[in-house]
């Protein structure tokens, strides 16, 4: 009940933030909201855009939930997204002869493993060398971007060797599309399955329980003899796997090839999505749908008002700060109660 | 590459990184530095256009940087919010607001426009030289003055510095404000010192480079400055490496500062280098 109330509170706060942002920039509120809603849900194409944009947000956002709940501030979602996709492209090249329905899952597995490996390295650095993941994941983001630049001009470049791009995947290897006219692909279901899996993992399994204990109260974790280091490395590895998988879904669902334009900051954008979703899988599901819709709808707004995704970023920034401020205010209230 | 040119191009990242180093020494990791640089660049553009004087633009950039730093300090120091969260929000806000305002004023084309620059091309750039001075000065203040010692203590073990009669939150606030000032000036320098223009999201990750450089330079301002020069050199080398047909891929060269920083961290571990209370909110025991 309390969770439902908090959820309704955040949801109305998000809508309010949208309205306030429009007012602050002096935009016609009714008309702008109308355009955004129409662009996000009004047509089949819009709806498909919304879902397709929500998909990487959801996957990376779930990744953030797992890592942050364990006290690992993974901000390397972007790098894990890239390295995952690179691992996928490498597998696609290795097994180029395989039939599509067989190759696609192989690629997706590779992307998850690639992201997990990079993230696990950052986790190991923190646990055994005392290097905070905040710092190491920033460093690794740069390394990943350079690796992408190198790969698409080197070992993974297209056979023609003209453009800095990988070969385009054949259509059979791509994720299924509901209608070739629209972007909507089966990756949406992969993301939803991941949502269910993360939810079950965090709330029903022993490993998920340990993860939360380590993040919330290291002292209790020690008393319970929970191996904190191993748990944290596992958490960030899972987080990286989800971000890598997001890269794989984007690769085999949308772009079909990799180039320097492939990273679209989904890994960064997932952080506010995860925070506003209350670091809870269901909350992240709703938040990613909301921001996916805003991104899709703001494309429509761009055509009329000349304003695009920057509006969405503003909303994310304001909402996170408001959320943080409210949280601090509530905690102060709780502490005052304790003292009374 | 001409060293003077390299110095000028390295200035925004170097200046921001020096400020970030001071903040981190006090225990505050400022993820929002990217947004502070961008807001500084935007303010510099607006002020320069309004007055025709790029030096006023530079001042406006610094002022906006300080204002954002104070906002961040309100959340992280006053409310004890998570530093990574507050910084991330500030980045989003900054990219969003400057981008939206820019589009509203100049259309969605993302057109650059030419601003009067601080100094003519080829002339010595006082900000570039000022950055060297800032690096030396920051190092001296941090390591040799009483205030510097207190700031470092606030980043290592804030409880001890409180016991010694200092206010840890105030020390952190001062360090963060310096970081914001330098980040704002750094962004402004990018706009009116180097590019002579503004573009949406023009900082393009330099703030994150600055954070990485602090680690690479081992939290020592002069080393951090050297690291900034090295990164600038590696970036400039990509064109030359391609022209010379170098056997080493230039991407490896570009990634090398980050790889070296990682390697150092792997070998040395945190060692005695990173401030012990970095990114740990401090709550005074009542």
| Span B186-211, pLDDT tens digits | 999 999 999 888 988 888 889 999 99
**Residue B179 in this model has a pLDDT that exceeds 80:** yes
State yes or no: pLDDT of A102 exceeds 90.
yes
| B22 or A311: which leads in pLDDT | B22
Residue of A nearest to B108 (CA): A306
Using the Cβ of A270 and the Cβ atoms of chain B, whether some distance falls under 8 Å is answered with no
B280–chain A nearest CA distance, Å: 11
pLDDT of residue A223: 87
Residue B29's pLDDT band (cuts 50, 70, 90) = very high
The predicted pLDDT at position B273 comes to 67
pLDDT tens digits along A183-233: 899 999 999 999 999 999 999 999 999 999 999 988 888 888 899 999 999
Q: Which of B29, B80, B215 sits opposite A139 (nearest CB)?
A: B215
DSSP helix/strand/coil, A166: coil
* pLDDT, position A179: 84
pLDDT score of A306:
65
Residue A123 has what pLDDT? 96
Confidence bin at B286 (pLDDT 50/70/90): very low
pLDDT for B246 beyond 70 = no
Nearest by CB to residue A320, choosing from B88, B101, B255, is B88
Chain B residues touching residue A67 (CB < 8 angstroms): none
CB contact under 8 A, A324 and B80: no
The whole-number pLDDT of residue B272 equals 46
- The complex scores an ipTM of 0.88
**For residue range B255-282, what is the model confidence (pLDDT) as tens digits?**
887 888 788 777 766 554 678 888 777 7
B249 vs chain A: nearest CA distance in angstroms? 7
Does the CB of A327 have a partner CB in chain B at under 8 Å? yes
User: Which pLDDT score, from 0 to 100, does residue A7 have?
Assistant: 78
Residues of B in contact with A150 (CB under 8 A): 249, 251-252
Torsion of Cα atoms, B40 then B43 then B44 then B46, to 10°: 160
The average confidence (pLDDT) of chain B is: 88
* Radius of gyration of chain B from its Cα atoms, rounded to whole angstroms: 19
CA dihedral A154, A156, A157, A158 (to 10 degrees): 160
Distance from CA of A200 to the nearest CA of B (A): 26
Q: Average of pLDDT values for A282-294? A: 94
Any CB–CB contact under 8 A between B211 and chain A? Answer: yes
Q: What is the pLDDT of residue B67?
A: 97
**Which chain A residues touch B202 with a CB distance below 8 Å?**
none
The predicted pLDDT at position A293 comes to 94
CB contact under 8 A, B270 and A130: yes
The verdict on a CB contact (< 8 Å) between A130 and B269 is yes
Residue A107 is predicted with a pLDDT of 97
SS3 A177: strand
Of the residues A32, A64, A132, the best mutation for testing chain B's interface (the one with the most B CB atoms within 10 Å of its CB) is A132
pLDDT of A340 strictly over 50? no
Average pLDDT in the B30-59 region? Answer: 95
Average pLDDT, chain A: 91
Of B29, B93, B252, the CB nearest to A134: B29
pLDDT at B123 (0 to 100)? 82
- Report yes or no: B96 at the A interface, CB cutoff 8 Å: yes
Q: How confident is the model at residue B109 (pLDDT cuts 50, 70, 90)?
A: low
Residue A311, min C-alpha distance to chain B (Å) = 6
pLDDT of residue B88: 92
pTM of the full structure? 0.91
| Nearest of A78, A84, A63, A110 to residue A234 by alpha carbon | A63
* Mean pLDDT in residue range B173-193: 96
| pLDDT of the residue at B249 | 79
- Cβ–Cβ contact B246 with A under 8 A: no
> What are the chain B neighbours of A307 within 8 Å (beta carbons)?
100, 103-104, 108
């Amino acid at each position: 009940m309390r969770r439902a109330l908090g959820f309704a509170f955040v949801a109305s706060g998000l809508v309010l933030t949208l309205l306030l942002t429009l007012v602050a920039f002096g935009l016609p509120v009714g008309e702008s909201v109308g355009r955004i809603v129409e662009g996000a849900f009004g047509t089949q194409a819009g709806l498909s855009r919304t879902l397709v944009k929500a998909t990487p947000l959801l996957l990376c956002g779930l990744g953030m939930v797992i890592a942050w709940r364990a006290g690992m501030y993974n901000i390397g979602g972007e790098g894990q997204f890239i390295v995952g996709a690179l691992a996928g492209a490498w597998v696609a090249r290795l097994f180029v002869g395989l039939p599509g329905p067989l190759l696609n899952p192989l690629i997706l597995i590779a992307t998850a493993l690639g992201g997990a490996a990079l993230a696990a390295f950052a986790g190991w650095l923190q646990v055994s060398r005392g290097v905070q993941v905040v710092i190491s994941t920033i460093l690794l983001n740069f390394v990943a971007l350079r690796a992408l630049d190198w790969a698409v001009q080197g070992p993974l470049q297209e056979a023609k060797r003209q453009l800095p791009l990988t070969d385009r995947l054949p259509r059979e290897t791509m994720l299924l599309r509901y209608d070739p006219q629209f972007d909507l692909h089966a990756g949406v279901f992969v993301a939803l399955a991941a949502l269910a899996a993360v939810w079950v993992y965090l709330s029903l399994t022993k490993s998920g329980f340990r993860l939360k204990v380590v993040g919330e109260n290291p002292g209790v974790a020690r008393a319970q003899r929970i191996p904190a280091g191993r748990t944290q490395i596992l958490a960030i590895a899972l987080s990286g796997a989800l971000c890598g998988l997001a890269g794989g879904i984007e690769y085999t669902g949308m772009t079909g090839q990799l180039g320097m334009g492939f990273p679209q900051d989904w890994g960064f954008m997932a952080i506010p999505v995860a925070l506003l979703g209350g670091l809870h899988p269901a909350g992240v599901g709703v938040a990613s749908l909301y921001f996916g819709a805003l991104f899709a709808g703001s494309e429509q707004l761009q055509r009329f008002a000349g304003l695009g995704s920057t509006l969405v970023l503003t909303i994310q920034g304001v909402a996170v700060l408001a959320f943080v401020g409210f949280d601090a205010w509530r905690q102060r209230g709780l502490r005052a109660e304790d003292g009374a | 590459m001409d060293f003077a040119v390299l110095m000028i191009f390295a200035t925004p990242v170097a200046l921001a990184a020096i400020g970030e180093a001071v903040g981190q020494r006090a225990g505050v990791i400022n993820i929002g530095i990217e947004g502070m640089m961008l807001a500084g660049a935007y303010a510099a553009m607006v002020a320069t256009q309004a007055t025709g004087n790029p030096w006023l633009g530079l001042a406006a950039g610094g002022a906006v940087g300080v204002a954002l730093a104070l906002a961040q300090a309100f959340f992280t120091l006053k409310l004890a919010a998570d530093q990574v969260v507050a910084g991330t929000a500030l980045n989003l806000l900054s990219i969003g607001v400057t981008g939206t305002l820019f589009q509203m004023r100049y259309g969605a084309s993302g057109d650059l426009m030419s601003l009067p620059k601080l100094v003519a091309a080829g002339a010595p750039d006082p900000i570039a030289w000022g950055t060297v001075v800032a690096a030396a000065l920051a190092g001296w203040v941090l390591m040799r003055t009483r205030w510097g010692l207190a700031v470092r203590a606030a980043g290592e073990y804030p409880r001890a510095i409180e016991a010694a009669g200092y206010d840890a939150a105030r020390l952190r606030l001062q360090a963060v404000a310096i970081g914001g000032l330098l980040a704002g000036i750094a962004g402004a320098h990018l706009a009116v010192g180097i590019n002579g223009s503004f573009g949406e999201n023009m900082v393009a990750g330099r703030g994150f480079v600055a954070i990485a450089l602090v680690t690479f330079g081992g939290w020592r301002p002069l080393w951090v400055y050297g690291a900034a020069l090295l990164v600038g050199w590696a970036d400039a080398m990509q064109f030359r490496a391609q022209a010379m047909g170098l056997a080493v891929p230039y991407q490896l060269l570009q990634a090398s500062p980050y790889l070296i920083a990682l390697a150092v961290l792997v070998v040395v571990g945190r060692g005695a280098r990173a401030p012990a209370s970095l990114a740990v909110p401090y709550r005074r025991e009542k």
